[in-house]
Chains A and B, each alone.
Chain A
């Protein structure tokens, strides 16, 4: 989240890992920020501990798979704030609340909460390559389907920089193998 106080509250109510930190929020009120699969899964997981979980998402639609959204919608502890943006995190020693803003109406809303779980996806850290190869709106390097070839001949992409779905080491390793084969073919063609 582009909020200056986010880092200040790491370990004091703000977290990026529901699996690890969820248990610290037993009977607490939590916001989960995001609209993708991770946000839905985190929200459902956090209902094991929290008294209330509110999903806050900036858009008026969700990117998450329908089955993940349905699971979250069936959970009575989950509430929804869509489309709302976390504008500011409130608290002194730890999180006590947040100021939300509706991007469509600019209305502001103050919510009381003890924790904020950020589940807005990953930054692929590809800024350095963005003038070299085509990337999508989230920064993931675009490759030709079924290969590791990028928009720049002779440049091949593998791993999480080009994978916005799986993000698994074993998948990245597979991409690495694909890239090696693609490089070999490329060099053979070049003679």
Chain B
């Protein structure tokens, strides 16, 4: 399990439920490594500011992560974490590896609005 303060997605059913019940969803799928931890931290910081977005993380090594790993948008990725943004259940953006707060907020603003 990931040691973050984000809501974890541990099963496929949980992922499906989150995507069905939320218009805007950001899922960060990774491990507790140096490229992943900064992204979780930024997501935690942004949760209040972007209350219209559901922020979740997912352990890269559990079966439920296959859903993220198998997305076509992630097929060329070469680094953890895989961070995927969903609008109405569809992928609208995806990034690989560590991202800055500026990079993340730019995507959030673009795909979900402020």
Contact = CB atoms under 8 A, between A and B. Distances in A.
B98 to A, nearest CB: 6
Interface residues of A, number: 17
Interface string B60-94: 10000000000000001111100000000000000
Given A10-B97, A11-B96, A16-B98, A24 B34 contact: no
A interface, over-half SS: mixed
Contact of A19 (B33, B98, B100): B33
A115 interface: yes
Size range of the interface on B?
A: 10 to 19
A17 B31 CA distance: 11
A11 B97 contact: yes
A94 interface: yes
A45 interface: no
Contacts, number: 56
A7 B97 CA distance: 10
Contacts of B98: 10-11, 16
Contacts of B60: 20
A97 interface: no
Contacts of A24: 77-79
B43 to A, nearest CB: 17
Given A10-B97, A15-B35, A20 B78 contact: no
B interface, over-half SS: loop
A140 B33 CA distance: 22
B30 to A, nearest CB: 7
Contacts of B35: 10, 15-17, 20-21
Contacts of A11: 77-79, 95-98
A25 B30 contact: no
Nearest to A19: B33
Nearest to A28: B78
Nearest to B77: A11
Nearest to A114: B78
B36 interface: yes
A94 B97 CA distance: 13
B91 to A, nearest CB: 16
Contacts of A34: none
Contact of A20 (B76, B79, B95): B79
Interface of B: 30-31, 33-36, 60, 76-80, 95-100
